[in-house]
């Protein structure tokens, strides 16, 4: 799968927008306290639009979805829907019939089609017994139903249900299970399956990737992209937002700003807009300060008339609001103490809990300064491996050797190291040394915990705030090996970006488990991927893994399968199984150099797409011709680089 930037649709003109609008919100205001959560939100959803709704935690995204779905009333404002528009809403909390089976609950999303199928069968039986006018009337009704069933592909409904349940990671052994017996994560996935199966003009999806593993997230991307209905999506999964969204709404300070394009394009446009907003705001503030100073100095002097004129001018100025900046916490981990070159040596590691082996014969070295990401489906053993690496769990086979001077600090996704009754200032205090209050406050501020928040008890914080406190506690531990289990859970997009930057700039060693592919891609330079036939070691990040997986042939997969185990080892013992190397088509180049050139080429392509996204760019036909020619050359060059990179990986044993 090649990371080619999607073309950006051009904005519709006003008449087209009116004709295709499914839903329009105007002036939506909502209070839960003195300050409004929503303060006059206005926007519209066109037929077939794919929209990402983004904003920091607590901005009101879920509240806005509930109002649009009709689950909650706005204090002021209107929600206008096109007649007959069918809206389906994925709520944060599951709402299932506890005694109904998983299959029947998923099937209920298609009840209307099953009823039509039943009516069609009944009409066919009646037609066989009737004749004359009665037969003709029945046949006319049957034809109408048949056309509707064909239009909705309703003759393969069971297959459609199976596809969605399998895609979302609900195995067949659970299909006859009672909904009430499912875990919270399984119930959440079933709710998503039911919403996806239900016919709709507009899907409102609130965090659909919660409790989904890597494969399910990839499946959901593909499914949503192929849908013809409109989708309004709230998610922290930036790969999902980049793949699916064609518009982005930013909800901040109670209002919405709309951008063309996916999440990455929104971030680029946001930066460009902020440059203009800052310049405009600063110039106006300078002008206001100049006028106010003149009025202050000359209000009672000889230039009283001019001062009065300036005062009136000040009153007439329409004040420009400050730049709409969503600030990220300035996360930072302290410089690590020196340790040996080999931080962790893993030798023939394996574990099971009395049943099949989760992994075995696993051998690899983690070197100082490397960033290792662990990927895989739920239940494959990722967290078990992490517990073996930290020493919390004794492995069933093999061993983990820590290098000289290694000081391990662990982030637990359950945040079990935080006592809910402790004040935040005490929660980050290390157990092994003095840590003055001022230093603790400075540390918490770097992770976005400021003001009176530092005196609150941990249990009263939001999920995102507790995660940031746990990360601050991790930084206070001053380890030179950071081990993190799902560190981005509960963090908003801006905090995730800050954590990525903090880990990239950290010179120590990092090993982490995460389902956030964007995070993995930004941080990892090595991967352990839990696959169906074993654990794979990848030299590179998530994009590298995607490219390798997309190009892998069945023959290559056979050569890479472990000959003596259902779980393969990334220890380099496949060497004897590799096929003979073929001759070079391209001159020798390092894989890293090719990857750098590929990234630069992709960046140029994205830059041209960004220009094409600007309506003013299309006013000059020469601009469009230049862009088309440049993109044609860049795509050809990218194709050539991919082929060169593939050969280099193979011949250099990557």
Contact call for residues 485 and 411 (beta carbons, < 8 A): yes
Per-residue pLDDT tens over the stretch 534-557: 899 999 999 999 888 887 644 443
Sheet harboring 397-402: ordered strands across? Answer: 359-367, 342-351, 397-402
Instruction: Quote the pLDDT of residue 84.
Output: 86
Q: What is the pLDDT of residue 298?
A: 84
Confidence tier at 443 by pLDDT (50, 70, 90)? very high
Tokens of 464: 């995102």
Using CA atoms, how far apart are residues 457 and 173, in angstroms rounded to an integer? 43
b or e along 83-122 (b: 16 or more beta carbons within 10 Å of the residue's beta carbon)?
A: eeeebbbbbeebebeeeebbbebbbebbeebeebbeebee
Closest by CA to 90, choosing from 207, 187, 180, is 207
pLDDT of residue 602: 78
513 has a pLDDT exceeding 50? yes
pLDDT at 126 (0 to 100): 85
User: What span, in angstroms and rounded, lies between the C-alpha atoms of 290 and 283?
Assistant: 11
Could you read off the pLDDT of 395-413 as tens digits, one per residue?
Answer: 999 999 999 999 999 999 8
Residues comprising the chain, all counted = 654
Cα separation, 155 vs 611, whole angstroms: 45
Instruction: Evaluate if residue 56 carries a pLDDT over 70.
Output: yes
The pLDDT value given to residue 615: 60
Mean pLDDT of the chain: 85
pTM: 0.76
pLDDT at 580: 41
- pLDDT per residue over 235-285, tens digit each? 999 999 999 999 999 999 999 999 999 999 999 999 999 999 999 999 999
pLDDT of residue 9: 37
Q: How confident is the model at residue 8 (pLDDT cuts 50, 70, 90)?
A: very low
In contact, 567 and 360? CB cutoff 8 Å:
yes
Residue 115: both structure tokens together: 């009823």
Mean pLDDT of 347-373: 93
Percent of the chain residues past pLDDT 70, beyond the cut:
89
Q: Is the pLDDT of residue 223 over 70?
A: yes
Q: What is the DSSP string of 383-396?
A: HHHHHHHHTSS--S
Residue 2: the pLDDT is 36
The backbone torsions φ and ψ at residue 79, rounded to the nearest 5 degrees and listed phi first, read -120, 110
Counting residues of the chain whose pLDDT is more than 90, the rounded percentage is 52
The Cα 474–Cα 484 span in angstroms is 9
């Amino acid at each position: 799968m090649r990371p080619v930037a999607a073309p950006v649709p051009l904005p519709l003109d006003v008449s087209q927008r009116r004709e295709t609008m499914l839903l329009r919100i105007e002036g939506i205001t909502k209070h839960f306290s003195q300050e409004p959560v929503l303060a006059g939100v206005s926007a519209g959803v066109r037929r077939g639009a794919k929209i990402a709704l983004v904003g920091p935690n607590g901005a009101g995204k879920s509240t806005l979805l509930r109002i649009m779905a009709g689950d909650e009333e706005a204090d002021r404002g209107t929600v206008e829907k096109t007649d007959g528009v069918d809206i389906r809403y994925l709520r944060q909390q599951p709402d299932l019939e506890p005694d109904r089976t998983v299959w029947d609950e998923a099937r209920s999303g298609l009840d209307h089609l099953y009823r039509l199928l039943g009516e069609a069968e009944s009409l066919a039986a009646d037609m066989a017994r009737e004749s004359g006018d009665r037969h003709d009337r029945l046949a006319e009704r049957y034809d109408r139903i048949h056309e509707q069933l064909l239009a909705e592909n309703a003759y393969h409904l069971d297959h459609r249900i199976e596809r969605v349940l399998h895609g979302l990671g609900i195995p067949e052994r659970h299909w006859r299970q009672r909904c009430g017996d499912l875990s919270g994560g399984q119930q959440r996935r079933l709710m998503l399956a039911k919403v996806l199966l239900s016919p709709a003009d507009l899907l409102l999806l609130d965090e659909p990737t919660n409790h989904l593993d890597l494969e399910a997230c990839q499946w959901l991307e593909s499914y949503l992209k192929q849908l013809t209905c409109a989708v309004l999506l709230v998610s922290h999964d930036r790969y999902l937002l980049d793949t699916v969204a064609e518009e982005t709404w930013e909800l901040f300070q109670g209002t919405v700003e709309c951008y063309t394009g996916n999440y990455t394009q929104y971030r680029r446009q946001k930066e460009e807009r902020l440059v203009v907003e800052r310049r405009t705001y600063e110039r106006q503030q300078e002008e206001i300060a100049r006028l106010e100073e003149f009025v202050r100095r000359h209000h009672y002097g000889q230039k009283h008339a001019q001062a009065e004129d300036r005062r009136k001018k000040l009153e007439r100025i329409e004040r420009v609001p400050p730049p709409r900046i969503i600030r990220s916490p300035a996360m930072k981990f302290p410089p690590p103490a020196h340790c040996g070159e080999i931080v962790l040596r893993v030798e023939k590691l394996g574990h099971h809990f009395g049943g099949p082996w989760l992994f075995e014969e696993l051998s690899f070295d983690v070197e100082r300064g490397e960033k290792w990401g662990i990927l895989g489906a739920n239940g494959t053993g990722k967290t078990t491996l992490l517990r073996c690496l930290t020493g919390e769990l004794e492995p069933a086979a093999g061993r983990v050797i820590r290098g000289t001077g290694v000081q391990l600090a662990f982030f637990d996704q359950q945040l079990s190291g935080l006592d809910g009754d402790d004040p935040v200032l005490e929660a980050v205090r290390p157990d092994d040394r003095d840590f003055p209050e001022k230093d603790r406050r400075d540390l918490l501020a770097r992770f976005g915990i400021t003001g009176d928040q530092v005196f609150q008890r941990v249990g009263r914080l939001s999920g995102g705030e507790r995660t940031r406190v746990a990360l601050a506690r991790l930084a206070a531990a001053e380890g030179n090996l950071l081990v993190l289990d799902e560190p981005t859970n509960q963090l908003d997009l801006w905090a995730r970006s800050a954590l990525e930057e903090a880990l990239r700039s950290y010179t120590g060693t990092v090993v982490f488990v995460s389902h956030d592919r964007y995070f993995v891609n930004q941080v990892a330079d090595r991967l352990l991927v839990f696959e169906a036939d074993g654990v794979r070691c990848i030299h590179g990040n998530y994009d590298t893994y995607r490219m390798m997986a997309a190009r892998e042939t069945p023959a290559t997969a056979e050569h890479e399968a472990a000959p003596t185990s259902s779980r393969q080892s990334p220890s380099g013992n496949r060497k004897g199984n590799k096929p003979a190397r073929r001759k070079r088509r391209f001159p020798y180049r390092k894989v890293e150099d090719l990857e750098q050139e590929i990234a630069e080429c992709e960046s140029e392509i994205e830059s041209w797409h960004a220009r094409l996204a600007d309506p003013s760019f299309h006013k000059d036909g020469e601009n469009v011709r230049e862009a088309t020619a440049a993109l044609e050359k860049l795509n050809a060059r990218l194709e050539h680089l991919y082929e060169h990179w593939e050969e280099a990986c193979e011949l250099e044993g990557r």
